[in-house]
Structure 1
Amino acid sequence: MPRYALLVLPATNRVYAEASIDLTRAELGVFSAAVLDGRLTDVAEERLGGVPYVTFGVAEPLGARDVAYLSQLSSEYALFELREQRELSGEGSGAPVLSPVTLTPLDQFDDDLLTIQKYVGKTNEFFTKLLLNVTVLASASAGDMLDRRLRILDPLCGRGTTLNQVLMYGWDAAGIEIDGKDVEAYSGFLRTYLKRKRLKHQAELTPIRRDRKVLGRRFHVTLAADKAAYKSGDALDLTVVNADTRRARDFFRSGSFDAIVTDAPYGVQHGSRSGGPGELSRSPLDLLSAALPGWVDLLRPGGALGMSWNTHVARREDAAAALTAAGLEVCDDTAYLGFRHRVDQAILRDVLVARKPRG
């Protein structure tokens, strides 16, 4: 049986680095179940040359498309096929030899699109990618993630970490954020980034008016990784609405998103607005109960919603019940139960993913 070893990216965040092996094992389980026909076996941590790897077996060698899927793993630094010395030379002690496997990530832009922003409360970009991956893999679009431009919404987008990862994949992104300062900060960052990288784009921040009333503001960008794509009309679309997420249906069409991905307020750095102006709750459940009907309406049939949150302020059972009450089918198989990890003393983060029925 062919065996492979995955070297995990070194994380700058020490706490996340401690959790990265277990998170990678869980993410591999989701990839295996969703797009690899469950063929990955014996996923485990193994030390090779004193360095920790995540190893796994497969009945037949990975094909090019298998590798393409695995190239999107959130914490992957390198992938190797594990062989024994005697297998290669016909002699030797049987010590493992690492044969590099060429990766084909979807990345359309330089990785500083994800790493350059630094601010209090920013979600780790590796985790953001993981959350996006496991949500899309739960959807009807899982098999299309390599081939089709998906459309992703973050209804609590903050300063755009999730949106930037969506753009990295070459997909269309949309977000909703109630904090005007966060929208302005993201607008300023992205404009500066695109100009500095000399990427062809158009960007504007305009008021949203309806019935002579201003409902919010819209930051809209069209951009492309190269001039030829932009000139041919193959530009990416990014829209951020500065408004209350409970009014999501006022700004986007029903059934227009393949997935909804969000990092819910933790009740530490951020509260969730669920009542009138200035009212903050430490629990994301109040916000979810108010916003979920609109979010679910925006999902295509077969779409998926993935959220992370602080389990210290909301139990998993209660969050799952809120998603179920909104008409979603919660993913509770083993592959989706391995993502709980500590962020700091006040935050124990978990992931919950649910699908919208196709019928």
Structure 2
Amino acid sequence: MTRIAAQLAPQRSTQYSNLARDLAAAEVLASPLGPGLEDVSLHNIAGQDYLTFGLPGPITNESIGLLASMAMLGGIFELFDAIGAVAGPLLRPVEAVQPAFIPPDMAATRRYKGKTNEDFTRFLCNMAKYASDFHSSDWSALDVVDPLCGGGTTLFTALSLGADVAGLDLDRTDIESTATFITQYCRENRIPLATKEERLRKLGARRWLFQIGRDDQRRCMLAHGNAGQTGELLAGFGRAHLIVTDLPYGIQHRGPLHGLLADCLPGWTELLVAGGAIAFSWDSTRLDREEMMALVGKVADLEVVNRPPYDRLAHRVDRVIKRRDVLVARRR
């Protein structure tokens, strides 16, 4: 067995200081590495928080790649109780770098009201992928959709991982400013970009198609419109392997949230390929997990993944959102 100590991902904002502590173990256990791990637990070593666990064999390129892809982990180290006469704990750095199609700072650079934390967004992407039939596929083979994309954090996060992406939002300002940001960011960072803008007259909507990169290209589709028309607005993109989104936090009562999911989830489910998965987060102080699971089961042909560690993803965000939870479900 090889013992690993993975430093928890540092957070730029004190608002999210406990995010990695709350979610790191779940992310690792949900990954393809999870079934073989032993003694997964949090430890403080020399004033720093680490997630420690045992790998069943030596460190491999595959395990390094998976650990590097974790949203809630930072530096990876091999952990020793002692080496010779030198008492531990002793840490040997393991080179673990996640290749990126575009710089990960694209998601961090984009600022807008109501933005979701980039690390949490990457966590959602990973949890959806791990629950799907495509858990071992390269991101470059996957299509990711965010039907409530706002300012584009999910899209830019999935692009950096290497996926093709598509998103829409009802807020015209959000979509137009996101399209402008993509153009400006690619120009400033000398990333080849081809852009096509369309008007979908039957839907009364606008849509942008971006081809990003030169030889190795990725697609990004943006549309302005209602999430209940996701399939029509994103026609031509193809069916998604993963749907990842953050439900609106401004909803004060159950009724509107029930209405949103009743209107949208059936269409989102149809957009998924067989074996695909959806992951979404919501303010669970107003709608608890049991109620959300019942609602999803009622309105869509989805199988909620509620086995460990997917059943313990609730965490605190701030004084307003005292409890946020994550639900992951697969298309049957």
What's the TM-score, normalizing by structure 1? 0.87
Aligned residue in 2 for 1:245: 227
Aligned residue in 2 for 1:39: 36
C-alpha deviation, 1:141, in angstroms: 0.7
Aligned residue in 2 for 1:313: 286
Change beyond 3 A, Cα 1:96–1:169: same
C-alpha deviation, 1:346, in angstroms: 2.0
Aligned residue in 2 for 1:264: 247
C-alpha deviation, 1:281, in angstroms: 7.6
Partners in 2 of 1:56 and 1:333 — Cα distance?
A: 20
- Structure 2: which amino acid aligns with 1:77? G
Q: Decide whether the 8 Å contact of 2:223 with 2:234 is kept in 1.
A: no
Partners in 2 of 1:198 and 1:187 — Cα distance?
A: 17
Is the aligned partner of 1:17 residue 2:17? yes
C-alpha deviation, 1:38, in angstroms: 0.3
Q: What are the ranges of 5 or more consecutive residues in structure 1 without an aligned counterpart?
A: 273-279
Matched residue SS, 2:198: strand
Aligned residue in 1 for 2:133: 140
Is the aligned partner of 1:215 residue 2:204? yes
Partners in 1 of 2:289 and 2:82 — Cα distance?
A: 47
Name the stretch that deviates more: 198-207 or 127-136. Answer: 198-207
C-alpha deviation, 1:330, in angstroms: 0.5
Partners in 2 of 1:197 and 1:46 — Cα distance?
A: 39
Aligned pair count reads 329
Aligned residue in 2 for 1:275: none
CA displacement 1:254-287 (0-9 Å, x = unmatched): 97110111100012xxx49xxxxxxx98742210
Partners in 2 of 1:172 and 1:56 — Cα distance?
A: 33
Is the aligned partner of 1:125 residue 2:114? no
Matched residue SS, 1:73: coil
C-alpha deviation, 1:111, in angstroms: 2.7
Is the aligned partner of 1:96 residue 2:68? no
Q: What is the Cα-based RMSD across aligned positions, in Å?
A: 1.9
Partners in 2 of 1:308 and 1:156 — Cα distance?
A: 12
Partners in 2 of 1:107 and 1:161 — Cα distance?
A: 15
Aligned residue in 2 for 1:5: 5
- Structure 1: which amino acid aligns with 2:50? Y
Matched residue SS, 2:196: strand
Q: Decide whether the 8 Å contact of 1:68 with 1:104 is kept in 2.
A: yes
Change beyond 3 A, Cα 1:36–1:77: closer
Aligned residue in 2 for 1:352: 327
- Structure 2: which amino acid aligns with 1:60? G
1:1-359 alignment, distance < 5 Å:
1-31=1-31, 35-36=32-33, 38-86=35-83, 90-92=84-86, 94-145=87-138, 148-209=140-201, 213-224=202-213, 227=214, 229=215, 234-252=216-234, 256-267=239-250, 271=251, 283-325=256-298, 326-347=300-321, 348-357=323-332
Matched residue SS, 1:342: coil
User: Which of the two has higher C-alpha Rg?
Assistant: 1
Partners in 2 of 1:281 and 1:46 — Cα distance?
A: 39
C-alpha deviation, 1:149, in angstroms: 2.0
CA displacement 1:130-180 (0-9 Å, x = unmatched): 00100111111111035x420010010001000001110111000111110
Matched residue SS, 1:250: helix
CA displacement 1:61-103 (0-9 Å, x = unmatched): 23111211121100222100012333xxx323x3122111111
Partners in 2 of 1:313 and 1:48 — Cα distance?
A: 37
Change beyond 3 A, Cα 1:205–1:282: farther
C-alpha deviation, 1:214, in angstroms: 4.5
- Structure 2: which amino acid aligns with 1:97? L
Q: Percent identity?
A: 33
Partners in 2 of 1:281 and 1:336 — Cα distance?
A: 23
Matched residue SS, 1:38: helix
C-alpha deviation, 1:205, in angstroms: 2.9
Q: Decide whether the 8 Å contact of 2:104 with 2:157 is kept in 1.
A: no
- Structure 2: which amino acid aligns with 1:38? P
Q: What are the ranges of 5 or more consecutive residues in structure 2 without an aligned counterpart?
A: none
CA displacement 1:25-51 (0-9 Å, x = unmatched): 1111111xxx12601121111111121
